[in-house]
A and B are shown apart, each in its own frame.
Chain A
Amino acid sequence: MSKMQLIVKGLIKENPTFSLLLGMCPTLATTTSAVNGMSMGLATLFVLVLSNMAISAIASYIPDKVRIPAYIVVIATFVTILQFLMQAFTPAIYETLGLFIPLIVVNCIVLGRAEAFANKNTVADSALDGIGIGLGFTCSLTVLGLVREILGAGSVFGFKFISGDGILAFVLAPGAFLALAYLIVIFRKLTEKKA
């Protein structure tokens, strides 16, 4: 597989949100606006790249039976580092995402990539895989956040284009499910023709 393919596959063929349906909990909860969705995506991207690299580097020294606890410790370390950094330098975003930052530890995308890719591939390939999957996740979350923000609040990235409120339900939980479902339908329809 070429280096380029490693990145591109995360965007379409193995897109974590629309194709693999992984990481649904943060997807539904944090996409109340495009900015929130994008920040969550980028936070996950950061953890994904670093943990993929670290795990692929140490995988051959880890006995098989304790690999999951070892991976979780590595992932949790990077998540905590991210948490410290966000708290220090981007307190506003840290507050909006709140609980969902520590929950990246148990995000199945991160552990899934460690198990399925990083422990059998080189450090460089694992980094590219992390970037690809992370970008796929970021794009999906931004699109979902954008759709919910346009419909629910009548704004794009915080800039209002209509006065008054949108369809309130789209900012709340039910709208997350509805918007996600329709986006998956559209995504599947578009990618089906190519295959």
Chain B
Amino acid sequence: MAMESSFKNMVACLLVICLVCSALLAGVYAITAEPIAQAAIAKTNAAIAEVVPSFDGEPVSGEVEVNGKSYSYYSVSKDGKVIAYAINASSVGFGGSLNLMVGITAERIVYNTSVLSQSETPGLGAKCTEESFAGQFAGFNPAEKNLAVKKDGGDIDAITASTITSRAYIEAVKNALAAYDAIVSTIE
């Protein structure tokens, strides 16, 4: 039956269990660290490829600061010329942070957007990932059109019953544009 609950026994028992468990965890971590890192890179690369025109070589990552907020971005080039930037921008939605990857071409046109993470209401705000809403940003030229929901006098159709999410999405795209301007100005 169970061992006597003396102080010495209890300390020894817990010590051994903790040692074995940490050794086990260290082993599994060592095995999985590589695939985990690769999965993260694959995910970022897939998100980049989705929002910029076809490019060659690897995306080059960088950081830029706008209004005290830092943005990470990836520039992609073709034939040695930078053709677009994929900018990781976020804003606060209805259910929490809304995180987007926004692709902006060298002509300052939004090429495409994709949602990296969101916690909007399922069935309402979560529809921001769908083509019917997100598709409106593909090829959007902020110089010709007004980047705001129709309710606010803009050119974007909001998601039904999810104006807050729609505004947050637009806010994130605007943040990306601001980051884009900052990137371009530091280069020139």
A interface residues with partner B (beta carbon < 8 Å): 32, 58-67, 69-70, 73-74, 76-77, 80-81, 84-85, 87-89, 91, 95, 152-153, 165, 168, 171-172
Contact-residue bracket for chain B: 20 to 34
**How far is it, in angstroms, between the C-alpha of A171 and the C-alpha of B120 when the chains are bound?**
13
Whether A172 pairs with B122 at a CB distance below 8 angstroms is: yes
Can you pick out 8 interface pairs between chain A and chain B where the beta carbons lie within 8 Å of each other?
Answer: A32-B122, A59-B2, A60-B1, A62-B2, A63-B2, A66-B10, A88-B36, A165-B123
* Stretch from B14-22, B149-157, B171-179 at the A interface: B14-22
Min CB–CB distance A82 → chain B (angstroms): 9
Q: Within 8 Å CB of A69, what residues of B?
A: 14
Whether A74 pairs with B122 at a CB distance below 8 angstroms is: no
Whether B32 pairs with A84 at a CB distance below 8 angstroms is: yes
- Indicate the member of B3, B6, B121 with the most A CB atoms within 10 Å: B3
Nearest A residue to B1 via CB reads A60
Q: Within 8 Å CB of A64, what residues of B?
A: 2, 5
List 5 tightest A-B contacts by C-beta distance, closest first.
Answer: A88-B35, A65-B5, A77-B21, A63-B5, A88-B32
Nearest B residue to A33 via CB reads B122
Min CB–CB distance B116 → chain A (angstroms): 10
Q: Within 8 Å CB of B35, what residues of A?
A: 88-89
